[in-house]
Chain A
């Protein structure tokens, strides 16, 4: 055998993993991805500094250019200084950086983002990227995970605020989805306020399934903090959060007073939209159905060119 061929075979022996006999059960592999991904390093001082530079120097200007955020209701959290759980509706990948960039500085640089362990942490490089960029921590979104709860609890205890989307994933059609009780549970467990935040307009910028960013206008509305009451369980707090978000959505699409009156009368439109076929749900969206993407290629011949 020639020397290069022998060397190549040796290298291949080292690099490639041996095959596994069919009759031998594989032991559970110690996972280092998903909910087991270690993100402690992303909250060390040097990494925080680098993230703050990126967030303030790159992300915020970029988002202002792309999303033109109109931030409302900051006065409602003016008195809030300690850690809190921010819970927002979720329609786009833009939501997280936009919300982070919209937070007052005292929260912006001390907030961790609960991100789906199965989506953002399924590969080590992805986990590292999101842990650095937005201080993401892995959250098991389809079932309760003691590790996620412990991690979130320790972060709050260390003074970190959490940013979580109670719907668990982005809206597929623009309407809200049923809420998971996770954010309410964490807030109630840690005894910290739960802040509802309504985001509007992000779906038009980068909705689920969209393959490119379309600049547009967005509105971020902060609601009044919800304080867990004594003996209030997580489900009750989660229901209050969902109601508060619905009122914020109503407030955003109409005005504060009208929304208050509908809230008092119990006629606030539900976030989840009408129980109807897909086209009617799309039709009933507050800002109408999503527009079809205009073709980027000019049609030939363009009729306007031939009209006088």
Chain B
């Protein structure tokens, strides 16, 4: 006769294994992008934000990431494409030998050795501890050296007075600006940038964002799955944005 409150040996083992796996194993199996940082904590080099772009999944003609970026950061221009700000743009490149056409999103590559930081006379162009290269617009004097130094044409200059800025992305005349990996969103615990979210919504999954320091983050998994490379590797800039599939 068995007392119902007591466990059999088998039940005990099954239940304890389940409990242990629920606590330790299962959370590790779910791909994470972010260990959310409390708002009052400084960013640290323990986090390494990065983006991986799978060029094969990027669809020709799709501009979801560009639109999402414009929307997120309030990059309303003046219908003057040559001078209006663009933080991310779509490129269409053709291999001369094979005629293969590739499209890819191009944005600030968040170099570990950023030339824009080297040339900045005021220290406004800087690299944050977690790897985001951005402009401190309080100290930017608008000299545009960084725009000239950037091999990827990633930065834009605001030429005109702006009025419709969004709260999360202050920007104004006389300053240089560029992709900052949606720094406001990320600091507030978001796991995606606007461009990645848009790309996922479209179902393309070409852009993957995450923390390189975490081997289970989406970006780490994407980079493990496919070989990836940096653009212009000869410049030794060690970009955090990498491209797979070409």
A binds B: no
